[in-house]
C-alpha cells in the first residue's frame, strides 16, 4: 500500500484514506463570459495526463477531509512532494536536484509490521 | 494416521456471541455528539465555553471529565459527552461564528478492549496503531474495512470506534470477526 503524506495531518497515511481529485492548478477564467468556447472547453475538459511528473489534487477524504496538491510521477507512482491548497506550484528542477532528494531510511529503521503478542 | 482438521462452520449472523476472553467488542453507552466547525479566531471562545481547550494538533484529543474533543481536521472537531450532557447549551454561550451540529444519533460507538485490541482494529484499519504512532489519547478519522470510522485510543488496550449508524452492523460484525482471529 502507498503511504501518502498529508500536509495538514503532517504525516504519512495509508492510501485508502485518500482520493485523487484530478489535475491541479486549473484556474477558472475571470470574467469567464469573455473566454472563447475553445478556451473554456480546454479548461473544462482537456487534461494533460502526462507520462511522468504531474501536478495533482488529492483529498484526504477519510482523514482530515482537506484538499491538497501533490507532485507525482505517473510512471513510478512516487510522490515527490505534497503542499497545501493555495500554495504556489513548486519548482520541479529544485525538487529533482540531488540536494532535495530525501535520503532513504536505513534498512534497520524501516517500519516493520508489529508482531502481536497473543 | 492422517489427522483430519475440520474448520468450524460459523453462522453469518453470530455477531454478538463473541466467545473470546482476551479481548472484548462491546457497545458504547449512548452519548451526546457534536460536529464542530470553526475558524482559528473562534477557537479560544469555544474552548472557554466548552471547558476544554480545543486540540489544534493533528491526531490528538483533549478531555475534561466525561467530555472529550477529538481533532478531525484543521477546522473540525468531534465532541463526545455523556448522554445527558449540557454541551449544546454550553456551546450556545460562545458568541463567535461556528457551526455546531448535534450528531448524537448519527453515530454508534463500539469499544474494543483487551489484549491485542490494536490488532483487532488493524484487522480492517490500515493506520499504524503502535503506541509510538498512535498513543493513548490519539484520535483520527480513518477507515475500517469498507467504511469510514473515527478511531480514538482511550487506553493502551482500549479503542473507541465511532461509525455511522447504518454501518454499525457491519462494523460490529467485522470487529468481532477480527477479535476471533487475534484472540488467545
Ligand atoms: Zn489529512
The residue ranges of every structural domain in chain B are 23-29+106-181, 31-102
Across the range B146-170, mean pLDDT stands at 97
Residue A5 C-alpha to ligand 1 middle, in angstroms? 8
The CATH number linked to A68 is 3.30.2270.10
What does the pLDDT read at residue A101?
59
Taking the C-alpha atoms of residue B176 and residue B120, their distance in angstroms, rounded to an integer, is: 8
Rounded to the nearest 5 percent, the helix, strand and coil shares of chain B are 20, 35, 45
Q: Give the position of cell 473470546.
A: B20
**Whether residue A61 has pLDDT greater than 80:** yes
Contact A64 B126 (CB under 8 A): no
Mutation target to probe the A interface, by most A beta carbons within 10 A, among B56, B122, B140, B183 is B140
Integer Cα distance of B9 and B119 in angstroms: 23
A17 — contact with chain B (CB < 8 Å)?
yes
Question: Which candidate from B72, B76, B126 shows the least CB-CB separation from A1?
Answer: B126
Chain B residues 131-150 within an 8 A CB cutoff of chain A = 140-143, 148
The Cα-based distances of B161 to A3, A22, A62, B5 in angstroms read: 23, 31, 14, 35
B184 → chain A, closest CA residue: A118
Q: Which among B114, B119, B156 is the top mutation candidate for probing chain A, defined by the most A β-carbons within 10 Å of its own β-carbon? A: B119
Closest CA to B109 of B80, B77, B131: B80
Asked whether the predicted pLDDT for residue A116 surpasses 70, the reply is: no
Whether chain B has a CB inside 8 Å of the CB on A1: the answer is: yes
Q: Over 80: is that where the pLDDT of A67 sits?
A: yes
CA A6 to CA A60: how far, in whole Å?
A: 7
Residues of B in contact with A59 (CB under 8 A): none
- Cβ contact, residue pair B142, A17, below 8 Å: yes
* pLDDT of amino acid A103: 54
Provide the pLDDT confidence category of residue A118 given band limits of 50, 70 and 90: very low
Residue A118 lies in a domain: no
pTM listed for this prediction: 0.88
CA triple A2-B147-A76, angle to 5 deg: 15
Give the Å distances, CA to CA, from B133 to A30, A65, B101, B129. 45, 20, 30, 6
Please, what is the average pLDDT of chain B? Answer: 94
> Does B58 sit within 8 Å of A8, measured CB to CB?
yes
Q: State chain A's mean pLDDT as an integer.
A: 87
Give A35-44 pLDDT, tens digit per residue: 999 999 999 9
Q: Is the CATH code 2.60.40.420 the one for domain B31-102?
A: no
Which contacts qualify for A109-113: CB closer than 8 Å, 24 or more apart? A111/B128
A24 within domain boundaries: yes
Q: Which residues pair with A58 in a beta bridge?
A: A20, A68
Chain A nearest-CA residue for B58:
A9
Residue A31 lies in a domain: yes
Q: Does residue A79 carry a pLDDT above 50?
A: yes
With a cut of 60, say whether residue B71 has pLDDT above it.
Answer: yes
Asked whether residue A4 carries a pLDDT value surpassing 90, the answer given is: yes
Mean pLDDT of A59-77: 97
* Cβ atoms B63, B136 nearer than 8 A: no
Least Cα distance to B119 among B76, B175, B169 occurs for B175
Domain that holds residue A29: 3-103
The answer to whether A2 contacts chain B (CB < 8 Å) is no
The fold for domain B23-29+106-181 equals: Gyrase A; domain 2 (3.30.1360)
Total CB pairs under 8 A between chain A and B = 56
Smallest Cβ–Cβ distance between B119 and the set A1, A17, A116 belongs to A116
Domain count across chain A: 1
Residue A14 C-alpha to ligand 1 middle, in angstroms?
Answer: 11
Between chains, do B58 and A13 touch, taking CB under 8 Å as contact? no
Amino acid at each position: 500500500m502507498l503511504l501518502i503524506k498529508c500536509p495538514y495531518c503532517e504525516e504519512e497515511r495509508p492510501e485508502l484514506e485518500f482520493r485523487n481529485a484530478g489535475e491541479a492548478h486549473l484556474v477558472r477564467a475571470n470574467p469567464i463570459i469573455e473566454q472563447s468556447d475553445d478556451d473554456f472547453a480546454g479548461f473544462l475538459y482537456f487534461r494533460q495526463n502526462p507520462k511522468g511528473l504531474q501536478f495533482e489534487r488529492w483529498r484526504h477524504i477519510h482523514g482530515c477531509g482537506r484538499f491538497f496538491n501533490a507532485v507525482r510521477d505517473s510512471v513510478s507512482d512516487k510522490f515527490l512532494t505534497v503542499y497545501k491548497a493555495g500554495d504556489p506550484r513548486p519548482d520541479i528542477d529544485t525538487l529533482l536536484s540531488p540536494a532535495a532528494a530525501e535520503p532513504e531510511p536505513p534498512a534497520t529503521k524501516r517500519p516493520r509490521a508489529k508482531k502481536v503478542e497473543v | 494416521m492422517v489427522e483430519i482438521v475440520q474448520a468450524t462452520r460459523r453462522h453469518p449472523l453470530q455477531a454478538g456471541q463473541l466467545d473470546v476472553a482476551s479481548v472484548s467488542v462491546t457497545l458504547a453507552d449512548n452519548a451526546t455528539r457534536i460536529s464542530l466547525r470553526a475558524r482559528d479566531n473562534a477557537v479560544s471562545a469555544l474552548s472557554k465555553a466548552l471547558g476544554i481547550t480545543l486540540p489544534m494538533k493533528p491526531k490528538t484529543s483533549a478531555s475534561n471529565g466525561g467530555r472529550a474533543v477529538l481533532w478531525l481536521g484543521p477546522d473540525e472537531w468531534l465532541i463526545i459527552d455523556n448522554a445527558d450532557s449540557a454541551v449544546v447549551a454550553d456551546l450556545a454561550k460562545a458568541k463567535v461564528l461556528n457551526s455546531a451540529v448535534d450528531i448524537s444519533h448519527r453515530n454508534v460507538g463500539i469499544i474494543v478492549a483487551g489484549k491485542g485490541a490494536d490488532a483487532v482494529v488493524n484487522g480492517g484499519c490500515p493506520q499504524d496503531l503502535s503506541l509510538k504512532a498512535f498513543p493513548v489519547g490519539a484520535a483520527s478519522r480513518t477507515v475500517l474495512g469498507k467504511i469510514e470510522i473515527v478511531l480514538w485510543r482511550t487506553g493502551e488496550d482500549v479503542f473507541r470506534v465511532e461509525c455511522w449508524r447504518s454501518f454499525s452492523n457491519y462494523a460490529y460484525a467485522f470487529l468481532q470477526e477480527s477479535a476471533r482471529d487475534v484472540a488467545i
